Structure 1
């Protein structure tokens, strides 16, 4: 009869021939080895499958048509034999003590459903960038910097996603209760799951850098658009599910800000009608919170939302010209 919980590591991969071997090797080098490593090839068109052959007998490989990272991770979760699940992306790396440290914490704290850690980013030149938590924690002056549970985790996640997927270890039983990744969401899908988990279960943080994430330049503009679209979709979805957990002002403020950013990005791309629609959403969410927070607090986003609408109709220059004297009166 097995007593100690087992760990399953899940790695989704899409056209990952350049880096997948490094990711797998970082798992094989763990001081506390996992029970299994599951790689899901999400319809790669490069030589990812050929590269994975060098790990035959050490890695369990699944193959599917391209359905996105959520579907790939879910496929791995469904077949995983472990009681604890850890995720790693195909181009990222773990330090050798990642699983050991998190496993020890989870065993000592059976009430915790999920633990996450810090990561550092590095670019193609191998240069290390800022730590993830070091950047995200600026939003929370009272956020714990020591190992332990996160108080009001759900409310904090509404404001900012401070959980990096490759740093997570989560109990499979928790996922079976909350549901898996939403396969209809292709960006910010992780934040959606963390919100659902933290709405029901306690989560904890070990603020050590157990992961190294590879930063790709790529198509930054396209990534920004997908991220902003994902943010509003995830927040609107979870507002319907868990509106009672957070004051309405928090939902409204975040959604107004994200729609504003999305609108200006769309306007820069010349997509005026979509930008106009985002501007309407900005004003709608901005106006909702006036009764709770007061007009003065909401003025900045309302002014910027009006500026966005004006720019979609009149153009940038005319919009700025008209709004300058009005801003002087109220600012």
Structure 2
């Protein structure tokens, strides 16, 4: 089983080398790595070039993160698609091999795992842990979602049910997973391992303004799929993150 990993980057020179090295260090042999860069001007492109043919990359203007993600998916030749951010890295070199084993064992359409968040200024300090738990479709109505940075799905799902909606700014991952798992009922398996290390922060959590925008986009995700959440569903989604602050693995 070939697995394609995609990174979307823009002016990520400060961290992307660590990201790339963590992907290339994976012990899974059938691995393709694609970087879709948004025409960075800070030295990111030079870093990408320094890895030669170990990675595939393009660097050109895009229409946003989900437009760039779609470019990467269309470039991918793997049976399974996963993503890693340009300032994130894998916690060990067995992540992708464990993902592959899970796909083969359960013959599932998608899998997800857990994430640890670290202090951006001290990568050895874990400040938050997202333990996703076993899948239950009804949990979506309680504000639950799989951790999108460690969500892996068959490329065939994109081809059958569509790609990321490109006019979202921060909830395109949520809409995509909601569509695939809740609406289309694709099979999914929880892998109870830490599959990603992320620097704390992000577009949807960086400020109250961004949180408000994310909440509005979450509501739109249900609406455009002709789905109806409970009245409390989208209030519970950000509140559920509070418990993560008390978990450190």
Q: State the distance in 1 between where 2:52 and 2:168 align.
A: 32
Q: State the distance in 1 between where 2:37 and 2:76 align.
A: 15
**Structure 1 residue 206 corresponds to structure 2 residue 202:** no
Cα distance, 1:240–1:86 mapped onto 2, change above 3 Å: closer
1:160 offset after TM fit, Å?
A: 2.6
Q: State the distance in 2 between where 1:167 and 1:82 align.
A: 17
Among 129, 138, 141, the residue aligned to 1:131: 129
Q: State the distance in 2 between where 1:60 and 1:218 align.
A: 26
Q: Is the 8 A contact 2:12 2:44 kept in 1?
A: yes
**Structure 1 residue 183 corresponds to structure 2 residue 160:** no
Matched length: 232
**Runs of 4+ that moved beyond 4 A:** 216-220
**Structure 1 residue 251 corresponds to structure 2 residue 230:** yes
**Structure 1 residue 233 corresponds to structure 2 residue 212:** no
Cα distance, 1:87–1:156 mapped onto 2, change above 3 Å: same
Query: For residues 128-161 of structure 1, what are the alpha-carbon distances to aligned partners after superposition, in whole Å with 9 as ceiling and x for unaligned?
Result: 122112xxx6xxxxx53xxxxx221xx4234334
Q: State the distance in 1 between where 2:58 and 2:193 align.
A: 31
Q: Is the 8 A contact 2:11 2:40 kept in 1?
A: yes
Query: For residues 159-183 of structure 1, what are the alpha-carbon distances to aligned partners after superposition, in whole Å with 9 as ceiling and x for unaligned?
Result: 3343222212110001212211111
Cα distance, 1:50–1:235 mapped onto 2, change above 3 Å: same
Range with bigger deviation, 223-232 or 80-89: 223-232
Query: For residues 103-129 of structure 1, what are the alpha-carbon distances to aligned partners after superposition, in whole Å with 9 as ceiling and x for unaligned?
Result: 01101222x211011010111222112
Cα distance, 1:34–1:68 mapped onto 2, change above 3 Å: farther
| TM-score normalized by the length of structure 1 | 0.65
RMSD between superposed Cα atoms in Å: 2.3
- Report SS of the residue matched to 1:252: coil
Q: State the distance in 1 between where 2:233 and 2:96 align.
A: 34
Q: State the distance in 1 between where 2:114 and 2:78 align.
A: 23
Greater RCO (CA < 8 Å, at least 6 residues apart): 2
The structure in which a higher percent of residues are helix is 1
Q: Is the 8 A contact 2:110 2:189 kept in 1?
A: yes
1:66 offset after TM fit, Å?
A: 4.0
Among 84, 88, 102, the residue aligned to 1:105: 102
Q: Is the 8 A contact 1:120 1:128 kept in 2?
A: yes
**Where does residue 8 of structure 2 map in the other structure?**
12
Q: State the distance in 1 between where 2:161 and 2:146 align.
A: 17
Q: State the distance in 2 between where 1:208 and 1:54 align.
A: 32
- Report SS of the residue matched to 2:97: helix
Q: State the distance in 2 between where 1:219 and 1:173 align.
A: 28
Structure 1: state its 5+ residue gaps: 138-142, 145-149, 262-331
Q: State the distance in 2 between where 1:219 and 1:6 align.
A: 31
Q: Is the 8 A contact 1:42 1:64 kept in 2?
A: yes
